[in-house]
Structure 1
Amino acid sequence: MNSFIRFSIPFFLSLSALVTTAHADAAPLSGKPGTSADRSSSREENEEFANFVQWREVGEFIDQIVAKHGFNRTELESVFGKTRYVERTIQLVKPAPPGQPKNWRAYRGRFVEPVRINAGVAFWDQYADALARAEAEYKVPAEIIVGIIGVETIYGRNTGNFRVMDALTTLAFAYPDTPNRTSRIAFFRGEVANTLLLARESGIDPFSLSGSYAGAIGWPQFMPGSIRQYAVDFDGDRKIDLSGSPVDAIGSVANFLVRHGWKPGEPLVFPATVTGDGANRWQDLIGKGLVADYRLDELEATGVVPGTELPEHLLYGLVDLQNGFEPTEYWIAANNFFSITQYNRSYFYAMSVIELGRAVKASRER
């Protein structure tokens, strides 16, 4: 973790001091991680006092992080006593009702469109030096960094106005009844702990952090744990500020990708078709995880046909982009495509990042 993780907020001596500090007004919009699409209602409509301190599981959680991280129990009880339940977060994490098939073209249309492309050109023009430096240091193309920040928050326009402590605590202890409830509860409880650790390490009020309904923060929508692990001070001011420094956001996105397997100079995706020549064994390659595991000859043996010549020394995976009731698109993805899916575990997301970045680059060059 970078030793200079601090925010542009005065240092306070203890959590008890932190939680009694007045909070700044939140940003007017909220951003769903990976979509930037949600707009929240007023805080009064979304939040209510829940007295989390009286919840048995919250008490057990406090015991755990006191023992593990050396927090003061009284101070933590004060924090959770001021944390509010946010019903809106519960509604937003619920899965979409069944019946409507996934539609890549509709999804793409939300992100690769004139507003984001024009905003991306302006962003690239303004921060060209930082993007060039990130590309040189991390070997991540500027267009990929631009694509991620554009998809996430429309270049800082839509970073979220939920208090992170409220959103994460609500999801950590009141996650709705879904098939993945157990794993999501574990994830969000980890992020509550990371929020408290980030606040302590940075000398800030944990309630000063605002973000999406799922607790993602700043221009690149990093979760608190990702801030602690992957965020970098890229503007050289000896603090990390993903909400106020687009340059820190640029460097942090690049560092995140490198730490998740980005390989300099390797390709992303290639168009493909599928045939019955391999007895439709290509179907066995669908949904095999976010990793490139197959040699080119192995793909071809199942009936996958590349639309162009591919490097034979790399490993690949088969990506299916469903188009509602229209034919599915198939792509052969290399390692760097799957590195992007570690940012958001979705083929749609990774492809929209790639295509938005390319569209911004092409528009800027014109």
Structure 2
Amino acid sequence: MTLLHTVKPDNIRVIVFILFTCFSYSMAHAQVDQTAVDDFIRNVAYQQKKPLKDVEAIVNQASFQSDIIEKMTRPAEKTMTWERYRNIFMKQERIDAGVDFWKANEKVLNEVSTETGVSVEAIIGIIGVETYFGERMGNHLVLDALYTLAFGYPRRSSFFKAELSKFLELCNNEGLDPLAIRGSYAGAMGYGQFMPSSYLAYAKSYDSETGADLMNEVNDGIASVANYLKVHRWNKGGLVAIKATKDQNAEALAKQKVKPSKTVSYYTQKGYESTNTIDPNTLVSLQKMEMEDGTLEYWFTFKNFYVITRYNHSPLYALAVFQLGEAIKKARETK
């Protein structure tokens, strides 16, 4: 007779549960270097002047999520053509949702835009691309995401260790529960999907009476997105992007940097023309966007386009934000 046969059924279930829990915990932590985790915990406790046991109590509850590593190695911005990427966001239902979001938050959007100089459509475009206007903020526990990437993604381990440290600091400062906050697989949170370091640096409370809550307060989300763009030197009233055409005999150009550094006239001499009238001395960049059939779209992009890429470095992202914001603005005006 085995040992389990001598134990009552209810006790067997308890034993099985305990064994399963221990096994799950072991598997969750088997894929990371525990020595590195322990070193991290000690450093955070020292730097943030927290009791070691308090930091341990949080970090040791994190769980390694292998699917996050897979997602990090295949971001949409690097695997899709512009046409496919654009079609994710430029759907009528998202545009309609943006019109509704603008209407519901018009007062705050107008006040924040006036105060910061950042256009409403830029704010709307970012929140629409990032979280479908707050409806899709992510299902991953931020603690798990940052833990997984800090200790299981060597290529950017230093970055995510720093973000995990900032996350713990943020939760302490704002009284947030680190075991409950959900966000993206990369650890971004709230309406604008701020990483912890950006949350600490740029999050802004709309009413200035309490700490910024980007997970629950849409007004704080709006104010924080605008503040991020303002701090990165958004040009009030400035252009973002204008479509360009390529002459049949235009000179082939290597990939251009996103930050504008050449004049419109420079590109005109190379065989690229704007579809709108622009001062030939204006600094622009020329961005090539690939379509599904292999052809290219050409866009003259301005300083504000570059500012959007400070939020996300992908030119595809910046152009999607721009086009979604413009589409929502146009739909709102025609309703």
TM bin, normalised by shorter chain, reads 0.7 to 0.9
Q: CA–CA distance in 1 between the matches of 2:51 and 2:280?
A: 57
- How far residue 291 of structure 1 moved from its aligned partner, in angstroms, is 1.2
1:116 matched to 2:106? The reply is: no
Structure 1 residue ranges without an equivalent (≥5): 1-44, 176-180
1:352 matched to 2:324? The reply is: no
CA deviations over 1:250-277 (Å, ceiling 9, x no partner)? 1111000111121111111111123475
Q: CA–CA distance in 1 between the matches of 2:75 and 2:194?
A: 24
Q: Map 1:259-338; keep pairs closer than 5 Å.
A: 259-275=231-247, 279-280=251-252, 283-284=253-254, 286-288=255-257, 290-338=258-306
Aligned to 1:144: 122
1:69 matched to 2:48? The reply is: yes
Structure 2 residue ranges without an equivalent (≥5): 1-23
Aligned to 1:157: 135
Alpha carbons of structure 1 residues 317 and 80: separation in structure 2 relative to 1, 3 Å: same
Aligned to 2:159: 187
1:202 matched to 2:180? The reply is: no
CA deviations over 1:197-250 (Å, ceiling 9, x no partner)? 101111232212211111111111111111100010014441211111111111
CA deviations over 1:179-201 (Å, ceiling 9, x no partner)? xx53x222211110110110111
Q: CA–CA distance in 1 between the matches of 2:139 and 2:283?
A: 41
- How far residue 75 of structure 1 moved from its aligned partner, in angstroms, is 1.9
Contact (CA 8 Å) 1:172, 1:186: kept in 2 or not? yes
> TM-score, normalising length from structure 2?
0.85
Contact (CA 8 Å) 1:232, 1:248: kept in 2 or not? yes
Contact (CA 8 Å) 1:51, 1:81: kept in 2 or not? no
CA deviations over 1:266-297 (Å, ceiling 9, x no partner)? 111111123475643xx23x142x31111223
Q: CA–CA distance in 1 between the matches of 2:42 and 2:226?
A: 36
Q: CA–CA distance in 2 between the matches of 1:48 and 1:198?
A: 28
Alpha carbons of structure 1 residues 256 and 101: separation in structure 2 relative to 1, 3 Å: closer
Three-state SS of the structure 2 residue aligned to 1:207 is coil
Three-state SS of the structure 1 residue aligned to 2:150 is helix
Contact (CA 8 Å) 1:101, 1:325: kept in 2 or not? no
Alpha carbons of structure 1 residues 96 and 193: separation in structure 2 relative to 1, 3 Å: closer
Three-state SS of the structure 2 residue aligned to 1:310 is coil
2:43 partner letter: Q
Aligned to 1:49: 28
Q: Of the two structures, which has the highest relative contact order with CA contacts closer than 8 Å and spacing of 6 or more?
A: 1
Count of equivalent residues: 309
Aligned to 1:362: 330
1:223 partner letter: M
Instruction: From 135, 143, 150, give the equivalent of 2:113.
Output: 135
- How far residue 159 of structure 1 moved from its aligned partner, in angstroms, is 0.7
Alpha carbons of structure 1 residues 365 and 48: separation in structure 2 relative to 1, 3 Å: farther
Contact (CA 8 Å) 1:165, 1:207: kept in 2 or not? yes
2:50 partner letter: F
Three-state SS of the structure 1 residue aligned to 2:332 is helix
Alpha carbons of structure 1 residues 298 and 69: separation in structure 2 relative to 1, 3 Å: farther
Q: CA–CA distance in 1 between the matches of 2:135 and 2:102?
A: 15
Q: CA–CA distance in 2 between the matches of 1:201 and 1:273?
A: 51
Instruction: From 61, 73, 90, give the equivalent of 2:69.
Output: 90
RMSD: 2.4
- How far residue 80 of structure 1 moved from its aligned partner, in angstroms, is 1.8
Aligned to 1:247: 219
Aligned to 2:199: 227
CA deviations over 1:9-63 (Å, ceiling 9, x no partner)? xxxxxxxxxxxxxxxxxxxxxxxxxxxxxxxxxxxx9x95317996122222223
Q: CA–CA distance in 1 between the matches of 2:132 and 2:251?
A: 44
- Which one has a larger percent helix, Structure 1 or Structure 2? 2
Query: Which has the higher mean CA deviation after the structures are superposed, 55-64 or 126-135?
Result: 55-64
Aligned to 1:42: none
1:55 partner letter: Q
Contact (CA 8 Å) 1:104, 1:321: kept in 2 or not? yes
Q: CA–CA distance in 1 between the matches of 2:276 and 2:148?
A: 48
Sequence identity, in percent?
A: 33
